[in-house]
A and B are shown apart, each in its own frame.
Chain A
């Protein structure tokens, strides 16, 4: 598995009169890691959720791998780790994973769940209700959940927020491990980390996106220059 390429053309999202995402062109080759950075409210979550196929774009199109632009096919290729865990608190970790497996028509949900529980070292808590988990543990289950159907693209929305140093380090290692096998897109406020982990970057400000080299992300001067509106655009 080498991941799926992302191709977006004129991708935009409007909520009534407010434009959350201005038409965006995006190209991410298969297996790369893309970091999406920008201030709060810039449209990062909107972009992530559009890529996941959760809502219809107001304009433009996005293709993930060979899905042909069809949203249902896209959902089969994408795994999302959102800000919320998407887990049922009264079910155990194992039950959550098995349910997701069945929901995504995975061939042997119970075995797949056991596999993921082992891989993420969730054995000790596998049969405890998710409602009682710490943020770090819950997030591990959430990531396992996103990987149940072996998606070619993994999306992570602010995954590092609220994690302690150790959990963050583990997550970084995971992202590095997945790169090459899958395409990964994550959003972050931490520019240094973004520069460290990513192959390419996307800067979103006020719903407008600018593609950047990953190395630029950690360079304040270059970044400020990048934020300045291009000539001709409204200030």
Chain B
């Protein structure tokens, strides 16, 4: 059992508890948050959409870094970390892609626009999907780990390039102004940042759980294979 697996196993309960505490608090904060004068209640998606985006990008960074660490250290645990991170990250990414149009439709009346950040996240989603497909369709766990690691690194390298590319293509930013510059009204900042924190806790918890499951699955198949080992001639 690698040290990474030990860490995951020990992290499951604390992160679960944190999440169980944070989620209701977050919901309460969101309900309490003032209504936006222009957008109305639809604006409350801001407490879901960007926090999930944080988790989605973090997820892919973990996938790429996990892959690179696997190539360096050749420890299976890093490959399982990368795979688990991709599975959890793609969920958050899907949430971002799903809530984006909901928000856009509610505010500007259009389902989609080739806006910079949303397009970037959509491209990330596509890379995630290709990564997961590559893992499914490669035979041999060591080969899968190597190939996936290389693809993960390439996928991460793409993110800044895509940002430049979409900006170049005139990705119209009808996205609300950069939130970090404090353009959120006073009553909205707490639920927003708390939302980001909650999303990250959720990500960590799901990742720890998924990693634990992957370790158990690996151990089970190893024991099964040992049990079935070919018997010598004549036996």
Interface size class of A (residues with CB under 8 A): 20 to 34
Residues of A within 8 A of B222 (CB): 17
Query: Looking at chain A's contact residues, is the secondary structure mostly helix, strand, loop, or mixed?
Result: loop
Q: At the interface, yes or no: B182 with Cβ under 8 Å from chain A?
A: no
Looking across the interface, which residue of chain A has its beta carbon closest to that of B222?
Answer: A17
Question: Which residue of the partner chain, among A18, A224, A235, contacts B231 with CB atoms under 8 Å?
Answer: A235
Interchain nearest-CB distance for B118 vs A (Å): 39
Question: Which residue of the partner chain, among A16, A206, A207, contacts B221 with CB atoms under 8 Å?
Answer: A16
Q: Residues of B within 8 Å of A, CB-based: how many? A: 17
Interface contact B142-A16, CB-CB below 8 Å: yes
Interface contact B233-A19, CB-CB below 8 Å: no
Interface contact A15-B230, CB-CB below 8 Å: no
Interchain nearest-CB distance for B13 vs A (Å): 28
Interchain nearest-CB distance for A235 vs B (Å): 7
Q: At the interface, yes or no: A229 with Cβ under 8 Å from chain B?
A: yes
Interface contact A206-B140, CB-CB below 8 Å: no
Q: At the interface, yes or no: B218 with Cβ under 8 Å from chain A?
A: yes
Within 8 A of A (CB), among B52-81: 74
Q: At the interface, yes or no: B234 with Cβ under 8 Å from chain A?
A: yes
Q: At the interface, yes or no: B177 with Cβ under 8 Å from chain A?
A: no
Residues of A within 8 A of B224 (CB): 17
Within 8 A of B (CB), among A221-235: 224, 227-229, 234-235
Question: Which residue of the partner chain, among A15, A19, A229, contacts B141 with CB atoms under 8 Å?
Answer: A15
Interface contact B142-A206, CB-CB below 8 Å: no
Interchain nearest-CB distance for A199 vs B (Å): 24
What per-residue 1/0 map shows which CB atoms of B74-90 lie under 8 Å from chain A?
Answer: 10000000000000000
Residues of A within 8 A of B234 (CB): 224, 227
Q: At the interface, yes or no: B185 with Cβ under 8 Å from chain A?
A: no
Within 8 A of B (CB), among A10-55: 14-19, 39, 41-42, 55
Interface contact A19-B140, CB-CB below 8 Å: no
Within 8 A of A (CB), among B109-155: 140-142
Q: At the interface, yes or no: A205 with Cβ under 8 Å from chain B?
A: yes
Q: At the interface, yes or no: A83 with Cβ under 8 Å from chain B?
A: no
Interface contact A234-B140, CB-CB below 8 Å: no
Interface contact B229-A206, CB-CB below 8 Å: yes
Interface contact B74-A56, CB-CB below 8 Å: yes
Residues of B within 8 A of A17 (CB): 141, 218, 221-222, 224-225
| Separation of A58 and B76 alpha carbons in the complex (Å) | 10
Interface contact B225-A206, CB-CB below 8 Å: no
Residues of B within 8 A of A42 (CB): 230
Interface contact A16-B233, CB-CB below 8 Å: no
Q: At the interface, yes or no: B160 with Cβ under 8 Å from chain A?
A: no
Q: At the interface, yes or no: B176 with Cβ under 8 Å from chain A?
A: no
Interface contact B140-A16, CB-CB below 8 Å: yes
Q: At the interface, yes or no: B232 with Cβ under 8 Å from chain A?
A: yes
What per-residue 1/0 map shows which CB atoms of B162-198 lie under 8 Å from chain A?
Answer: 0000000000000000000000000000000000000
What per-residue 1/0 map shows which CB atoms of B201-230 lie under 8 Å from chain A?
Answer: 000000000000000001001101110011
Interchain nearest-CB distance for A202 vs B (Å): 15
Interface contact A19-B226, CB-CB below 8 Å: yes
User: Could you list which residues of chain B lie within 8 angstroms of chain A, going by C-beta atoms?
Assistant: 74, 140-142, 218, 221-222, 224-226, 229-235
Pairs A–B under 8 Å by Cβ, sample size 15: A14-B142, A15-B140, A16-B141, A16-B142, A17-B141, A17-B218, A17-B225, A19-B226, A39-B230, A55-B142, A206-B229, A206-B230, A207-B229, A227-B233, A235-B235
| Known A207-B229, A227-B232, A227-B234; further 20 A-B contacts with Cβ < 8 A | A15-B141, A16-B141, A16-B221, A17-B222, A18-B225, A39-B233, A41-B230, A56-B74, A58-B142, A205-B230, A205-B232, A206-B230, A206-B232, A224-B233, A224-B234, A227-B233, A229-B232, A234-B226, A234-B229, A235-B231
Closest 7 CB pairs of A and B: A16-B141, A17-B221, A206-B230, A17-B225, A17-B222, A227-B232, A205-B232
